[in-house]
A = this chain, B = another copy of it.
Amino acid sequence: MAKTQKSGDVYDPSCSARDALELIASKWAMLILPALADGPMRSGALLRRIGGVSQKMLTQTLRELEKNGLVIRQDMQTVPPHVEYRLSPLGASLSDVLVALDRWAELHFPELDAARERFLRRRS
């Protein structure tokens, strides 16, 4: 038992809440989980939905999320293969928070852009 703290403090690097945070703090997880909030999806559909993700990163991230019980992988055992991914209840609760984050980004990115420009002009 190397890293079992019950404190539940993300500021403590030895608490596995930190691991949870690092799992979430992934560019792709932040898009995949909210994408699945609308309902189950096949990997091909996710690939089309999430612009810019490579197939490798998509499956890699899905595996990671599955390992942590956030996503459920349902293999129909047919050929050609048909696999569906959906949120677990735990994943759904996280997805709610991530949706809020995505919406924040969509709402406020112009302000970030403006701040960056101001910053550049200041040092010129």
Contacts and interface: CB of A to CB of B under 8 A. Distances in A.
A112 B112 CA distance: 33
A13 B93 CA distance: 25
Contact of A26 (B25, B69, B97): B25
A16 interface: yes
Size class of the contact patch on chain A: 35 or more
B104 A101 contact: no
A90 interface: yes
B25 A30 contact: yes
Given A12-B51, A90-B108, A100 B97 contact: yes
Contact of A106 (B8, B23, B90): B8
Given A30-B25, A112-B68, A9 B97 contact: no
A57 interface: no
Interface in A1-34: 8-27, 30-31
A88 to B, nearest CB: 8
Interface of A: 8-27, 30-31, 35, 49-52, 66-70, 90, 93-94, 97-98, 100-102, 104-109, 111-116, 118-119
